[in-house]
Each structure stands twice: as C-alpha cells, then as structure tokens.
Amino acid sequence: MIDFSVYGEQTPHISGYKCLKCGTIFYPAPMVCKGCDAHRDPVTGKHWEQFDLEGPCKLLTWTRVWNLPEGFNRKFLMFGMVEFPNGLRASGRIECVGDPVIGATMEASVIEADERPGAPVKVFQFS
C-alpha cells in the first residue's frame, strides 16, 4: 500500500496537468486526455507533467455569499471564477476590500483551509 501522506508538502500548491504527448493542459486533473486520448496514471504520473497553478489571472465573475455552509463561522465570503494566461480557469475565494471588478487582473495564491471537519484542504485565494 502506498502511504501518500509521506509526500506531504510544506507550502500548499494546486496543480495544473499537462499531457506530454499532445501538450493539452487541464485543471483539475483528468484521467484521460481530451486532446489525444492518452490515459493518466495517478500513481506514476508517467507522460504527464504537473505545474503550479498560481499568479496573475483575470476575474470572470464573482459573488458574495451570505449563507455559508456548515463550519464557516464568518458573516460572508467572496468567491470568484478566474482565467489564467494559459487559458485554464479555476474557482476559488476572493480576498479584497470592497467589490471586485469583472475583468480585473488578480493574483492567485493557495492557502490551507480547515473550516470543515477532516484534514485541511487547499483553496485558491484570489486577491
């Protein structure tokens, strides 16, 4: 049995995935490449490359949610959808003062969040 926990990272990252056969990129990870039908083995990762998805991105839309799910002891949270320069898109949280602007350039980073029970999870933060 493989114990994945021994590979735990210090700084949280979220990966994009690149099929090395045809170059198509993905987020989140697929199990088959839509560009060339290559399969991805999640254990060996052979013929696929992982890269950090972070940095500048463009805000596509956003919302401020007031009825948060169980475990979120905050009045509200802002969420947004962004597009990276490589064309990949992602959804995540927004940290900013006031209302964000659609089309604005934001900076994507990754934090660990522990509002819900269980192990902390990786979360995109756009600011």
Contact residues toward other proteins (CB under 8 A) are: 27-28, 60-72, 77, 79-81, 89-93, 102, 113, 115-116, 121-124
Instruction: Looking at residues 18 to 57 of the shown chain, list those that interact with Zn ion (rule: CB under 5 A).
Output: 19, 21-22, 24, 33, 35-36, 38
Q: Which stretch binds Zn ion (CB under 5 A): 5-13, 17-25, 68-76, 109-117?
A: 17-25
Min. distance of Cβ 54 from other proteins in angstroms? 14
- Distance between CA 85 and CA 57 in Å, rounded? 6
Distance of CA 20 to the CA centre of its chain: 21
Query: Read out DSSP for the chain?
Result: ---GGGG--SS---EEEEETTT--EESS--SB-TTT--B--TTT-TTEEEEE--EEEEEEEEEEESS--TT--SS-EEEEEEE-TTS-EEEEEE--SS---TT-EEEEEEEEE-SSSSS-EEEEEE-
CB closer to Zn ion out of 33 and 94: 33
Min. distance of Cβ 100 from Zn ion in angstroms? 34
Min. distance of Cβ 64 from other proteins in angstroms? 4
CB closer to other proteins out of 14 and 38: 14
The residues of the shown chain that bind Zn ion, judged by CB under 5 A, are 19, 21-22, 24, 33, 35-36, 38
